[in-house]
Amino acid sequence: MTDAAAAETSFLPVVVAIDGPAAAGKGTLARGLAARLGLAYLDTGSLYRAVGAKLLAEGGDPADAETAAAVARALVPADLGRPDLRSEAVGTAASQVAANPRVRAALLAFQRDFAASPPDGKAGAVLDGRDIGTVVCPDAPAKLFVDASVEIRARRRMEELQQGGGDAIYAAVLADLKERDARDRNRADAPLKPADDAELLDTTDLGIEEALERALAIVQRKTGLAVTKQA
Ligand code: DC
């Protein structure tokens, strides 16, 4: 085999795994990292949200394990562009279907394929979710666990909802986040937790820019990737 052929066969996309609870800032950081490092980005929560949204739209019950698994198996990429994915109702349904091992199994291959063959010929991918560093991509060279106090997460989520024209009450958003955290952390299959080799990033007292600079420094140290696009 020539050196060039050997280099081609040994090319492995770089995977950056970002996990953490709802509204900790994972999505903003993951998108920012992908943009600055020239990597593809997958919001894996949108897969669970798409399953929840389709189920609700069909009048199904997210607690019905068989139907939820069938919806997950039939998911197509266009479902990830549904306009209703960010609603609170869909978020709650997503958290319920995410506790179903058959739903998780059905969505695993999609996530691993994305990491192994990032679209548009990108050199790697950033995936954010709850179990990327522990289950989906346990060999990722860079793993971040992004966290923040539940009170600050509730405040950020409320501002997001209000900016979207919604009407949000702090106490209700806080209660919903606590319930979702408990479900994500305590489920038997792939619970939310930091991988042993994850770096923790607490964004409670950080603005978006500062959090992104810190995340970038960690990922560059772990992967040797260079910034391809300045902020
Ligand atoms: O990040 P998010 O709020 O969009 O995620 C919606 C739900 O999906 C969340 O309650 C947990 C679940 N989820 C998961 O279990 N595993 C992932 N990798 C991503 C999301």
Condensed to tens digits (0 to 9), the pLDDT of residues 19-55 reads 999 999 999 999 999 999 999 999 999 999 999 999 9
Say yes or no to pLDDT of 4 above 60: no
The rounded mean pLDDT for the chain is 92
Token pair belonging to 192: 């939310």
**Which atom of ligand 1 lies nearest, measured to the CA of 99?**
15
Per-residue pLDDT tens digits for 160-203: 888 877 778 899 999 999 999 999 999 999 999 999 999 999 99
Residue 12: per-residue pLDDT: 85
CA 179/CA 171 separation, integer angstroms: 12
Residue 3: per-residue pLDDT: 52
* Residue 92 · residue 182 · CB < 8 Å: no
Residue 7: pLDDT band by 50, 70, 90 thresholds?
very low
Q: How far is the CA of 98 from the centre of ligand 1 (A)?
A: 7
CA 165/CA 156 separation, integer angstroms: 15
Q: Whose CA is nearest to atom 20 of ligand 1?
A: 45
Residue 142: pLDDT band by 50, 70, 90 thresholds?
very high
Q: How far is the CA of 217 from the centre of ligand 1 (A)?
A: 26
Q: Give the burial class of 32: count Cβ atoms within 10 A of its Cβ; 0-12 exposed, 13-18 middle, 19 or more buried.
A: buried
Strands 14-19 and 199-202, by their bridges, are unpaired
Give the residue from 218, 170, 206, 221 showing the smallest Cα distance to 28. 206
* Residue 173 · residue 119 · CB < 8 Å: no
Q: Whose CA is nearest to atom 4 of ligand 1?
A: 45
Could you tell me which residue, 58 or 7, shows the higher pLDDT?
58
Q: Could you state, in order of their start, the residue ranges of all structural domains in the chain? A: 16-221
**Pocket residue to mutate for ligand 1, from 48, 80, 147, most atoms within 8 A of Cβ:** 48
Cβ–ligand 1 distance for 27 under 6 Å, the answer no
Say yes or no to pLDDT of 141 above 80: yes
Does pTM surpass 0.85?
Answer: yes
* CATH number 1.10.287.1080 is the correct assignment for the domain at 16-221: no
Structural Rg of the chain based on CA atoms: 18
The answer to whether the Cα torsion of 227, 229, 230, 231 is positive or negative is negative
- What are the residues whose beta carbons fall under 8 Å from the beta carbon of 3, sequence distance 6 or more? none
CA 200/CA 219 separation, integer angstroms: 12
**Pocket residue to mutate for ligand 1, from 26, 44, 112, most atoms within 8 A of Cβ:** 44
* Eight-class DSSP state of 134: I
Give the residue from 168, 162, 155 showing the smallest Cα distance to 203. 155
Per-residue pLDDT tens digits for 61-118: 999 999 999 999 999 989 999 999 988 899 889 989 999 999 999 999 999 999 999 9
Length of the chain: 231
Q: How far is the CA of 13 from the centre of ligand 1 (A)?
A: 24
3-state secondary structure of 206: coil
Per-residue pLDDT tens digits for 143-170: 999 999 999 999 999 998 888 777 788 9
